[in-house]
Every structure is written in structure tokens, then in C-alpha cells.
Amino acid sequence: QNGGLYVSGSTESNNSEDSQDAEFGNEEGSIDMNASHVVKDPMFQTGVLRTNCIDCLDRTNVAQYAYGLAALGQQLYALGLTDDPTIDLDAPLAEKLMEFYERMGDTLALQYGGSPAHNK
């Protein structure tokens, strides 16, 4: 982070013509004279999503997983790491996120109820 702006990515170029052709203020941010960094305007969180216990921790975790997967897809897309803001449910990343939520569900169930989650 630099002066309220985020710096992301870099391009490799030794061509002086590329430096002369650098554009400023394009839709994806500003490029410095050496075309080595793209400076993007910052993005800020504009809301909060809160979920209450639906009727059991297992169902609440499923709902939170769905929201978390959607949010993760949007975040990766905003960072330019993916070409699509959605993550396929069969993708390895979705499976890892599900494993995280399962571990969290077991931990919470043990903490509050004394037994692992019942969704196994």
C-alpha cells in the first residue's frame, strides 16, 4: 500500500517504446513511466453479512460456507487472480474451503455441545 493506493502486479519490459506508450488513468489504474507497476484505486468493504443460528450449527455452517464461497470468488476476481467471480463447487479451492468450515463446525460443536458436528 502506498499513499492510499494499492500497487499490484508488474510487467517485464526493456523496450523504451513501451515506456513511452504507457497510458495514464485507464480503466484498470495508472501505469508508471517504466510500466513496472499498476496503481489501482482502493476498494473498501461496504457492508457486513451476519448469520444467526438457523436451527442447528450444521445448517448454519452450510449457509456460511455458501456465503463464504461467493465472497471468496468476488475477492479473487477483484484482485485479478481469476477471470470469473464464481468458484465451481467441484473446484479444489471450494473443497479446501469446505474442509475449513467442517473443522470450524467441529470445533464450535465441541466447544458449545461437547460433541463433534452431526453432519458426518
Judge whether 45 lies within some domain.
no
How many Å is the Cα radius of gyration of the chain? Answer: 21
Render pLDDT for 71-99 as a digit per residue (tens, 0 to 9). 999 999 998 899 999 999 999 999 999 99
pLDDT-above-70 percentage for the chain: 62
Q: What DSSP designation does 90 have?
A: T
Pair (78, 107) in one structural domain: yes
Q: Report pLDDT for 23.
A: 40
Which residues form the domain of 62? 57-113
Pair (66, 107) in one structural domain: yes
How many beta carbons lie within 10 A of that of residue 89, not counting itself? 10
Q: Is the entire prediction scored with pTM above 0.75?
A: no
CA nearest to 4, candidates 38, 42, 32, 33: 42
Number of domains making up the chain: 2
Pair (64, 109) in one structural domain: yes
Render pLDDT for 30-52 as a digit per residue (tens, 0 to 9). 555 556 667 778 888 888 988 87
